[in-house]
Chain A
Amino acid sequence: MMQDIQVLSPIAVLGIGVVVLMMEVAFRRSLSMTFTITVSTLVLALLCIPWAAEAPNSQVTVLLRGDGYALLFTGIFLVGGLLTCILSPRYIASRGDEPDEYFLLLLLATMGAIVLAYATHVASLLLGLELMGVALYALIAYPDRSLLPLEAAIKYLVLSGAASAALLFGFALAYGATGALAFSDMAAALAAPESTIMLVAAAAFIFAGLGFKLSLVPFHMWTPDVYQGSPMPVTGFLAAVSKAAVFAVLLRLFVDAQLYQYDAIMRILGFVAILSMLGGNLLALLQSNLKRMLAYSSIAHMGYLLIVLIASRNAGTRALAEEAAIYYLVAYTATTIAAFSLLTFVGLKRSDQGSMDLGTLSGLFWQRPLLAGLMLVAMLSLAGIPLTAGFIGKLYLVQAGVAGSHWIMLGALVIGSSIGIYYYLRVVFYMARRPEDARVTLLEGDEALPGTLLTCALIALVLWLGIAPQPLIDYVRAIL
């Protein structure tokens, strides 16, 4: 019992934090107190991770497993939540609203993401997904009662709901065919399939559901609108944490349930990967709105990551593929959160919400050199230029692709990244424009200091992971 609590301690701490926060909001509304409770809950949960890692047995019931894999992602999601939380007060304050419940929702969403990282069972997968999803619907619409966020929230609610339903139905069919709900039991049952048609249908539904959450082409339609409408800190959370959480659980499902044995699944995956890499990048190319651009670029990044699932087919490259996936996810999450928090600093007035145009970054280098320098690193990392985490991530992906001889995938990766370089670089180009044609509206004063520090730390991490990746590589290899 004690051991179970030890393993689950990060989730438990978050749960307690949520309850405390709920009470506090009910009795006495105070933004500073709410904020303090949220931050300390997240920090406390972070501090629990080393303790949780010491537990001798990481499996808690059939539902959750708090192994190194889960704890690594737990750490990342907590940092993501923390950054989102620290960035939020000023953002919300500039919109004049009661933001207390916002923090409650943020804690719940983070908790959902962590449950996904722990999940080894269909039930915990769905629970985590819904916990995160439902909190996110509200988070998108909460701080700002204008039209765009509402539209985004409704879109996300309806489409995400449909996707969850599809997922649920898919799992039900899979259960019908195999009689298993835990990932590892599925592997055994899938090895001797009885009713293949049911399994094919199940795979299609499950894949559609998860594909929607990861916004893979052709399930990507919602992404740009939702990103554009969401408040900036929430967009960052959505792009980084929620995506990484879903991919983390997908990878676990894929490996534990040994889905790589099925040619049909692999073929569909390959097709979707190529579509996502090319489609995401091509559509990002056409955007002048930064949030939409990053939305499409996240589609492409998820497409790149699918290469890993495809490479996990051969037994020889499976370990490398998993390693690649984890490294890439860490790099992508850190960079994306950093990029969105930097965009948050380029604060815009309420009326400009959603119209985060490329032009708003004009001349940022000369007005706020630090901010622009950090943004430069983030963009270079997303583009995969050496000395950043993004490069090592890409190196890993290419390595996995080469090892498995997936030349078509690599071709798509090269073409996609080439397109990507153009639009990431366009951001840098706008930032470097001479001050003559600059028009940047920035938050005044140094009140954003904690956020700035945390972002600096995150960018430092991105650089460190790019310059000295060996420690993380060693860690990843140790936990696999």
Chain B
Amino acid sequence: MSLLILIMILLIGGAVAAVAAPGDNQRARLISLVTLIAALVQLALIVTGADPVQAGGSEWLIHHQSQWIPRFGISLELGLDGLSLLLVVLTLLLGLVAISASWDEIDFKPGFFQANLLWTLAGVVGVFVSLDLILFFLFWEVMLVPMYFLIAIWGHENRGYAAMKFFIFTQVSGLLLLVAMLALAHTASQTMGYYSFSYFELLGQAPSGKLGLAIMLGFFLAFTVKLPGFPFHTWLPDAHTQAPTAGSVILAGILLKTGAYGLLRFAIPLFPDASQQLAPWAMGLGAAGVVYGAVLAFGQDDFKRLVAYSSVSHMGFVLLGLYAFNQLAAQGAVMQLVAHGVSTAALFMMAGALQQRLHTRDMRKMGGLWHNAPRMGACAMFFALASLGLPGLGNFIAEFLVLAGLFATTPWLAAIAALGMITGAVYSLVMIQRAFQGVPDEERDLPDFGPRELLTMLAMVATLVWLGVYPQPVFDLAQPMLDSVGQWLPVAGGR
């Protein structure tokens, strides 16, 4: 139940913000802040008071199940293991970053803005802790609605188009997911004798042959669209560019991770055989995404668009890592989720800060900003370096592990993907060069980062350094889950 309370805290906090502070930005963001802190406290209570249970071949800190729609065997089944915990913590912390990023950016209906922010977070937390397929689907779809509002109401000039595209891409793939889920439950019911959507009951129930492959593709498509994997990424640059800063932070930092989480939690363990069949294709898409995203990122003039395309490239590594079926690579993929979440969130916050100050995202109109705002320059430099995979920072660990794991299985793909690290360096440094270096415009009035922004940035800097220097805690958290995935795979992916 305590996980449900965690979600309820976010939902109710959002409702309070919408009702109590319709036009008062200060009060709205305060409510939002308090809600997130309360949620973090609740999470800490859950973790400290946890009584671990064994289920589905791995250890769960907490597991709760109660009936919801017995007609279809749909239950309110929630659980938290190391992987979920990692991502929930990331979600809540990036929620704080998002609030900080939109601190005084919102002047239109701030209460409703914060409400949508919190509701989105509630949906994402729900996705990470649901163990019933339909419940998962519910959170998966419902979190889109507040996110849609964030883009459609507070977005930039082309917000309507971007919001619609984002919603439709996810919804259409979501419908496929629904059909696939029902098909899986139906085939499973023929051997079990009853309907169930419970993750643990459906493990090992996937039909073999073409049907299994088709059902798995439904899952795979939905998650890959969200990830986004090449060639389903076209919604991402638009949505990220048009969203308000906080929206971009959440979108890139957390929402993309739900796709990766879905692959790791559902698509691969539920369909071990079919996933193995698909693996070459999935890895091919991953490698294509790495290179293609990087090349497109290089060609952008829009600061936010550049960061958005870089996400496509980085998420390609996740796809590679997950489908290499290799412990090293899988650990790298999980690490990438966390590290990319933090570094991209920081870069989007930077983009938002620039937009708020300069009223443009066009890098052709920037240049020499370091001179005007040295603190911003230093932060941007740090996160650009993190994003290009500088050793000693989290992203390096992630991408290195993926490449190392991949090399053991398919060396030539590892070689292609390694190109992404070179191109990553190119576009990241070009971004810094065009925006922050060069001849400064002395006329320009550019206030530097204040204490709030600096504090947020420094916290993220510290996280990335920590992840880079001492990544073991993250590995330890994810290990049991990855072990259980390995156990479902027919060819126990070599460690």
Q: How many angstroms between the C-alpha atoms of A365 and B426 in the bound complex? A: 45
Q: Is the CB of A395 within 8 A of B178?
A: yes
Output the nearest chain A residue to B149 by Cβ-Cβ distance. A432
Give the residue among A425, A426, A473, A477 with the most B Cβ atoms within 10 A.
Answer: A425
Q: How many angstroms between the C-alpha atoms of A399 and B176 in the bound complex? A: 13
Q: Is the CB of A421 within 8 A of B176?
A: no
Distance to closest chain B CB from A365 (angstroms): 8
Q: Is the CB of A418 within 8 A of B137?
A: no
Q: Is the CB of B179 within 8 A of A402?
A: yes
Q: Is the CB of A421 within 8 A of B179?
A: no
Q: Is the CB of A421 within 8 A of B138?
A: no
Instruction: Tell me if B109 counts as interface (CB < 8 A to partner A).
Output: yes
Instruction: Tell me if B167 counts as interface (CB < 8 A to partner A).
Output: yes
Output the nearest chain B residue to A380 by Cβ-Cβ distance. B145
Distance to closest chain B CB from A310 (angstroms): 16
Instruction: Tell me if A141 counts as interface (CB < 8 A to partner B).
Output: no
Q: Which residues of A sit under 8 angstroms from B164, Cβ to Cβ? A: 422, 425-426, 429
Q: How many angstroms between the C-alpha atoms of A398 and B175 in the bound complex? A: 10
Instruction: Tell me if B108 counts as interface (CB < 8 A to partner A).
Output: yes
Output the nearest chain B residue to A434 by Cβ-Cβ distance. B108
Contact with B along A375-395 (1 / 0, CB 8 A): 000001000011100001011
Q: Is the CB of B167 within 8 A of A425?
A: yes
Q: Which residues of A sit under 8 angstroms from B488, Cβ to Cβ? A: none
Q: Which residues of B sit under 8 angstroms from A470, Cβ to Cβ? A: 68-71
Instruction: Tell me if B72 counts as interface (CB < 8 A to partner A).
Output: yes
Instruction: Tell me if B160 counts as interface (CB < 8 A to partner A).
Output: yes
Q: Which residues of B sit under 8 angstroms from A402, Cβ to Cβ? A: 179, 182-183, 186
Q: Is the CB of B142 within 8 A of A385?
A: yes
Instruction: Tell me if A417 counts as interface (CB < 8 A to partner B).
Output: yes
Contact with A along B187-213 (1 / 0, CB 8 A): 000000000000000000000000000
Instruction: Tell me if A366 counts as interface (CB < 8 A to partner B).
Output: yes
Please report the total number of B residues contacting A with Cβ < 8 Å.
Answer: 31
Instruction: Tell me if A19 counts as interface (CB < 8 A to partner B).
Output: no
Instruction: Tell me if A238 counts as interface (CB < 8 A to partner B).
Output: no
**With contacts defined as CB atoms under 8 Å apart, how many contacts are there between chain A and chain B in the complex?**
70
Instruction: Tell me if A469 counts as interface (CB < 8 A to partner B).
Output: yes
Distance to closest chain B CB from A407 (angstroms): 9
Output the nearest chain A residue to B189 by Cβ-Cβ distance. A403
Q: How many angstroms between the C-alpha atoms of A386 and B71 in the bound complex? A: 17
Known: A414-B175, A429-B152, A434-B153. A395 touches B72 (CB 8 A): yes
Instruction: Tell me if A108 counts as interface (CB < 8 A to partner B).
Output: no
Q: Is the CB of B142 within 8 A of A387?
A: yes
Q: Is the CB of A386 within 8 A of B152?
A: no
Contact with A along B129-159 (1 / 0, CB 8 A): 0000010011001100100110011000000
**Size class of the A contact interface (CB-based, 8 Å):** 20 to 34
Residues of A contacting B: mostly = helix
Instruction: Tell me if A410 counts as interface (CB < 8 A to partner B).
Output: yes
Q: Is the CB of B183 within 8 A of A385?
A: no
Q: Is the CB of A421 within 8 A of B171?
A: yes
Distance to closest chain B CB from A300 (angstroms): 14
Q: Is the CB of B138 within 8 A of A429?
A: no
Q: Which residues of B sit under 8 angstroms from A386, Cβ to Cβ? A: 137-138, 141-142
Distance to closest chain A CB from B368 (angstroms): 35
Q: Which residues of B sit under 8 angstroms from A432, Cβ to Cβ? A: 149, 152-153
Q: Which residues of B sit under 8 angstroms from A387, Cβ to Cβ? A: 138, 142
Output the nearest chain B residue to A473 by Cβ-Cβ distance. B71
Instruction: Tell me if B328 counts as interface (CB < 8 A to partner A).
Output: no
Contact with A along B63-80 (1 / 0, CB 8 A): 000001111100000000
Of A380, A394, A395, A429, which one neighbours B163 at CB under 8 angstroms?
Answer: A429
Distance to closest chain A CB from B370 (angstroms): 36
Q: Which residues of A sit under 8 angstroms from B145, Cβ to Cβ? A: 380, 385
Distance to closest chain B CB from A473 (angstroms): 5
Q: Is the CB of A385 within 8 A of B179?
A: no
Q: How many angstroms between the C-alpha atoms of A428 and B164 in the bound complex? A: 10
Output the nearest chain A residue to B180 by Cβ-Cβ distance. A402
Q: How many angstroms between the C-alpha atoms of A315 and B149 in the bound complex? A: 45
Q: How many angstroms between the C-alpha atoms of A392 and B152 in the bound complex? A: 27
Q: Is the CB of A398 within 8 A of B179?
A: yes
Q: Is the CB of B179 within 8 A of A414?
A: yes
Q: Which residues of B sit under 8 angstroms from A398, Cβ to Cβ? A: 178-179, 182
Q: Is the CB of B72 within 8 A of A414?
A: no
Distance to closest chain A CB from B232 (angstroms): 14
Q: Is the CB of A414 within 8 A of B71?
A: no
CB contacts under 8 Å to A, within B340-398, are: none
Q: How many angstroms between the C-alpha atoms of A79 and B57 in the bound complex? A: 52
Instruction: Tell me if B172 counts as interface (CB < 8 A to partner A).
Output: yes
CB contacts under 8 Å to A, within B25-49, are: none
Q: How many angstroms between the C-alpha atoms of A380 and B70 in the bound complex? A: 24
Q: Which residues of B sit under 8 angstroms from A410, Cβ to Cβ? A: 179
Distance to closest chain B CB from A177 (angstroms): 38
Q: Is the CB of B172 within 8 A of A473?
A: no
Q: Is the CB of A366 within 8 A of B109?
A: yes
Distance to closest chain A CB from B126 (angstroms): 11
Output the nearest chain A residue to B167 by Cβ-Cβ distance. A425
Distance to closest chain A CB from B466 (angstroms): 37
Instruction: Tell me if B168 counts as interface (CB < 8 A to partner A).
Output: yes
Q: Is the CB of B171 within 8 A of A418?
A: yes
Q: Which residues of A sit under 8 angstroms from B172, Cβ to Cβ? A: 414, 418, 421
Q: How many angstroms between the C-alpha atoms of A388 and B110 in the bound complex? A: 27
Distance to closest chain B CB from A200 (angstroms): 34
Contact with B along A429-441 (1 / 0, CB 8 A): 1001010000000
Q: How many angstroms between the C-alpha atoms of A398 and B138 in the bound complex? A: 15
Q: Is the CB of B186 within 8 A of A403?
A: yes
Q: How many angstroms between the C-alpha atoms of A395 and B182 in the bound complex? A: 8
Distance to closest chain A CB from B120 (angstroms): 15
Output the nearest chain A residue to B211 by Cβ-Cβ distance. A405
Distance to closest chain A CB from B262 (angstroms): 16
Output the nearest chain B residue to A386 by Cβ-Cβ distance. B138
Q: How many angstroms between the C-alpha atoms of A387 and B137 in the bound complex? A: 11
Q: How many angstroms between the C-alpha atoms of A402 and B195 in the bound complex? A: 13
Q: Which residues of A sit under 8 angstroms from B70, Cβ to Cβ? A: 470
Output the nearest chain A residue to B135 by Cβ-Cβ distance. A386
Q: Which residues of A sit under 8 angstroms from B148, Cβ to Cβ? A: 425, 428
Q: How many angstroms between the C-alpha atoms of A394 and B137 in the bound complex? A: 13
Q: Which residues of A sit under 8 angstroms from B182, Cβ to Cβ? A: 395, 398-399, 402
Q: How many angstroms between the C-alpha atoms of A354 and B72 in the bound complex? A: 43
Contact with B along A410-427 (1 / 0, CB 8 A): 100010011001100110
Q: Is the CB of B142 within 8 A of A469?
A: no
Q: How many angstroms between the C-alpha atoms of A473 and B171 in the bound complex? A: 26
Q: Is the CB of A399 within 8 A of B141?
A: no
Q: Which residues of B sit under 8 angstroms from A418, Cβ to Cβ? A: 168, 171-172, 175
CB contacts under 8 Å to A, within B55-114, are: 68-72, 108-109
Distance to closest chain B CB from A459 (angstroms): 15
Output the nearest chain B residue to A410 by Cβ-Cβ distance. B179
Q: How many angstroms between the C-alpha atoms of A387 and B123 in the bound complex? A: 12
Q: Is the CB of B175 within 8 A of A417?
A: yes
Distance to closest chain A CB from B184 (angstroms): 9
Distance to closest chain A CB from B211 (angstroms): 10
Distance to closest chain B CB from A191 (angstroms): 30
Known: A387-B138, A432-B152. A469 touches B176 (CB 8 A): no
Q: Which residues of A sit under 8 angstroms from B168, Cβ to Cβ? A: 418, 421-422, 425
Output the nearest chain A residue to B22 by Cβ-Cβ distance. A369
Q: How many angstroms between the C-alpha atoms of A399 and B69 in the bound complex? A: 14
Q: How many angstroms between the C-alpha atoms of A392 and B108 in the bound complex? A: 35
Nearest 6 Cβ contacts at the A-B interface: A386-B138, A418-B172, A473-B71, A414-B175, A402-B182, A421-B171
Besides A414-B172, A429-B160, 6 more A-B contacts (Cβ < 8 Å) are A386-B138, A395-B182, A414-B179, A421-B168, A425-B167, A429-B152
Which A residues have a C-beta under 8 Å from some C-beta of B? 366, 380, 385-387, 392, 394-395, 398-399, 402-403, 410, 414, 417-418, 421-422, 425-426, 428-429, 432, 434, 469-470, 473-474, 477
* A-B residue pairs in contact (CB < 8 Å), sample of 16: A385-B142, A394-B178, A395-B72, A395-B178, A398-B179, A410-B179, A414-B176, A414-B179, A418-B168, A418-B171, A418-B172, A421-B171, A425-B167, A429-B160, A470-B69, A474-B71
